[in-house]
């Protein structure tokens, strides 16, 4: 049996903390560079000490600073090296036109082919995410695997197996096998434990930790 932990990054620095950002780099590069807040660093270190997440065999992260920053404490304490794969990156948002399409965020859940100009649809995110997860499971059969990634990317993948009950900017409700798996905004960090027999999914569960109280860390 292969155990896969999908781990959302810890609390990132708020955009409100940046007064000016003078750069000609595209938005996607700026998003990739966002670091953890000081609180996010503390929570990432706490996460690395959780008993559930010990004895990890292999570690993967997206191509973003905040996932690597979250993973580094586990890497150090368990002597692991990072495997970085951009297919684990967050959804590329594209050009948001809130005036003309104020519900674009919710629409992406209800219509998995909808996307903003220059952005990705949920189907596109799910396809690339699923591709890399299948490769990881095939390569590391019967291992304990930690994958540090992002909220929307995780959600898009889970909804391959789960049922969307409710979506708003304040709450995400998802069912797995007829039972509520999740019913709030994603925590930062957040951990989902998936078990596979070869490529066949056997179970999904949300792993919560008492010493990491809710902080969605948008």
On the question of pLDDT at 17 being above 70, the answer is no
Name residues whose C-beta falls within 8 Å of residue 26's C-beta, 6 or more positions apart in sequence: none
| CA gap 199, 88 in Å, rounded | 18
> In this structure, are residues 209 and 48 in contact, taking their beta carbons and an 8 Å threshold?
no
Mean pLDDT computed over 177-184:
95
Provide the sign of the torsion angle of the four alpha carbons 46, 49, 53, 58, taken in this order: positive
CA angle 96, 89, 80 (to 5 degrees): 155
pLDDT of residue 115: 87
pTM over 0.85: yes
Coil, helix or strand at residue 28: helix
Domains and CATH numbers, the chain: 2-207 (3.40.50.1240)
- pLDDT band at residue 18 under the 50/70/90 scheme: low
Helix (H) or strand (E) holding 191: strand 190-197
Mean pLDDT computed over 205-214:
94
Q: How far apart are the first and last CA of the chain?
A: 34
pLDDT tens across 121-180, in order? 999 999 999 999 999 999 999 999 999 999 999 999 999 999 999 998 889 999 999 999
pLDDT of residue 174: 97
On the question of pLDDT at 108 being above 60, the answer is yes
pLDDT tens across 28-87, in order? 666 766 879 999 999 999 999 999 999 999 999 999 999 999 999 999 999 999 999 999
| CA gap 35, 160 in Å, rounded | 30
Query: Which residue, 63, 69, 64, is CA-closest to 39?
Result: 69
pLDDT of residue 22: 66
């Amino acid at each position: 049996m292969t155990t896969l932990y999908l781990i959302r990054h810890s609390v990132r620095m708020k955009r409100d903390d940046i007064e000016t950002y003078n750069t000609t780099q595209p938005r996607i590069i700026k998003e990739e560079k966002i670091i953890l807040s000081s609180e996010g660093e503390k929570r990432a270190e706490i996460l690395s000490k959780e008993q559930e997440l010990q004895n990890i065999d292999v570690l993967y992260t997206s191509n973003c600073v905040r996932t690597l920053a979250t993973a580094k404490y586990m890497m150090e304490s368990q002597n692991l090296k990072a495997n970085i794969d951009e297919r684990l990156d967050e959804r590329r948002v594209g050009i948001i036109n809130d005036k003309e399409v104020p519900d674009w965020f919710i629409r992406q859940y209800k219509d998995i082919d909808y996307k903003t100009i220059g952005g990705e649809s949920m189907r596109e995110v799910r396809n690339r995410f699923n591709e890399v997860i299948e490769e990881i499971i095939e390569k590391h059969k019967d291992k304990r695997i930690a994958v540090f990634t992002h909220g929307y990317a995780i959600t898009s993948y889970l909804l391959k197996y789960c049922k969307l009950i409710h979506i708003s900017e304040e709450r995400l409700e998802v069912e797995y096998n007829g039972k509520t798996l999740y019913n709030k905004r994603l925590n930062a960090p957040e951990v989902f434990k998936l078990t596979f027999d070869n490529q066949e999914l056997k179970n999904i569960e949300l792993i919560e930790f008492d010493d990491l109280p809710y902080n969605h860390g948008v």
